[in-house]
Chain A
């Protein structure tokens, strides 16, 4: 009588190898599907552009965009700056605003979440500021800060500040009371408990907040660069519109998308460092 191959008769080493092989195969399949998704999207795009369904004036094909990318690296027309300058300018704005939001928002959120009195003091003001859309600060910002880096960074800051603060606040509020009691029975002071128990346990939520903040700040960039800029990706997009150059607009969008993805990847690396304990 023949029996079907059974895992029960495998040795421990064979079983481990089998599970490893299966995991590897699953991972390969997932990667292949991701690549296929991107390729499919690009192909569809290329097909629509090539079919002439949409006029060339409105939709440039992916291949044209790639071509334009290399041209734009050295050619400042039509917006007056080469791509490198535009990227650098946008990065400066976004990272200044984003960085400030992290440096100010997260500690503020953690302190508000931990110290009740500080919470009562800060919360009303924050609740009023919170629902204001970042772009509605633009007119005031121009009056207060002019139109240079400071003004634009301020707008981005507001977009990124709110999720940083809220997540840090919520995260530290969710600290397991048992862990707080452990530290308390060891005789730890309130600040020590805040630092050694509250802050590390809030980190998961803090990183989720940073992720949202990163998206927000990059997304608010275009709006910020509507403040009379002379370079930047958002500015390039606006110029593309004014010159009716759909390809420039699409190139701007694509570069923003790619850089955003790179940032998320970078954030993942940092998060794995800090929250590495979560991994199996």
Chain B
């Protein structure tokens, strides 16, 4: 049974969750990311069909969808690795541009630079952005402290465990203080224990830094655990089928009946068979 705080579609767009209201102060700066009519064809293959939604400043949005629904294409459009056939993505009202805006991406595959130490990996994006050295130092120190990487700072990624490597990548993304942080199934290859651990870590970083996050996953439980709002994608040509607001207090519990209800609801919606 869907509960009352499962507000869908139009309602969801307007109704901010209670935690959001606390975070927000000025209503006009509410919308951070605006996706308008995003459409993508690869030749004649219609992958994305007229996707529109908004993300509020500091919001944590999860995107779920059936296998092969074009989630990765969707992300690659958001980061401007591909350019859309039609429609556009706006950040603070401006067409998104990686050179101007601060985008950060945590990829599914391990993506630490193997020839750089942990610390230099964390510095990488900041140095590309040509930030002042003292700003870089300060941010990197903060992330190292937050993730407890003090002892590992001079190690190389291949000397670390897979989960530590992924933590560095997550740290590198948060260190950018991105306008928009995109995560593409970052825990796809990890066992349950590590996933729980890293999920909590991302939540902690997000709460402390107030970053706007779009988190793509195929794991519905993960989505319900982390998201303030879940976007459910349809099969190809992909569009946003439904939005679900998750208004549960944190830390969330997997066995909470409300949690289970939302999970079941999303699972039901995602079924394409």
Chain B 113-150 residues near chain A, CB threshold 8 A: 113-117, 124-125, 128-129
Does B98 sit within 8 A of A, measured CB to CB?
yes
Q: Using Cβ atoms and an 8 Å threshold, which residues of chain B touch A181?
A: 79, 81, 105, 107, 111
Contact: B156 with A187, CB < 8 Å? Answer: no
Q: Which residues of B contact A184 (CB under 8 A)?
A: 79-81, 98
- In the complex with contacts A178-B109, A196-B128, A185-B115 CB distance below 8 A: no
Tell me the complex Cα distance, A201–B157, Å. Answer: 14
Select A277's contact among B97, B114, B125, beta carbons within 8 Å.
B114
A186 located at the interface, meaning its Cβ lies under 8 Å from any Cβ of chain B in the complex: yes
* B99-115 interface bits toward A, Cβ cutoff 8 Å, 1 = contact, 0 = none: 11101110101110111
B129 near A186: Cβ-Cβ < 8 Å = yes
Counting CB contacts under 8 A, is B38 at the interface? no
Q: Are A185 and B79 in contact (CB under 8 A)?
A: yes
Complex alpha-carbon distance, A179 and B111, angstroms? 6
The bracket for how many chain A residues form the interface is: 20 to 34
| Contact among B101, B115, B156 for A200, CB-based, below 8 A | B115
Does chain A have a CB within 8 A of B176?
yes
| CB-based nearest A residue for B106 | A182
Report the separation of the CA atoms of residues A113 and B116 in the bound assembly, to the nearest whole angstrom.
22
B95 contacts A by Cβ under 8 Å: no
Q: Whole-angstrom distance between the alpha carbons of A185 and B100 in the complex?
A: 11
The main secondary structure of chain A at its interface with chain B is helix
Docked complex Cα distance between A176 and B114 (Å)? 11
A280 at the interface (CB under 8 A from B): yes
Contact A186 B115 (CB under 8 A): no
Q: Please determine whether A178 and B107 come into contact, CB atoms closer than 8 angstroms.
A: yes
Q: Which of A178, A186, A201, A275 has the most CB of B within 10 A?
A: A186
Query: How many angstroms from the CA of A126 to the CA of B132 in the assembled complex?
Result: 44
CA distance A183 to B115 in the complex (A): 14
Say yes or no for B83: interface residue by CB 8 A criterion.
Answer: no
The A158-190 residues at the B interface (CB cut-off 8 A) are 176, 178-179, 181-189
Contact among B107, B115, B158 with A182 in the assembled complex (CB-CB below 8 Å): B107
Complex contact B109–A186 (CB within 8 A): no
Question: Does residue B159 face the partner (Cβ distance < 8 Å to A)?
Answer: yes
Measuring CB to CB, which residues of chain B are less than 8 angstroms from any residue of chain A? 79-81, 97-101, 103-105, 107, 109-111, 113-117, 124-125, 128-129, 156, 158-159, 176
What are 7 A-B residue pairs whose CB atoms fall within 8 Å in the complex? A186-B98, A186-B176, A187-B97, A187-B100, A187-B103, A196-B124, A277-B116
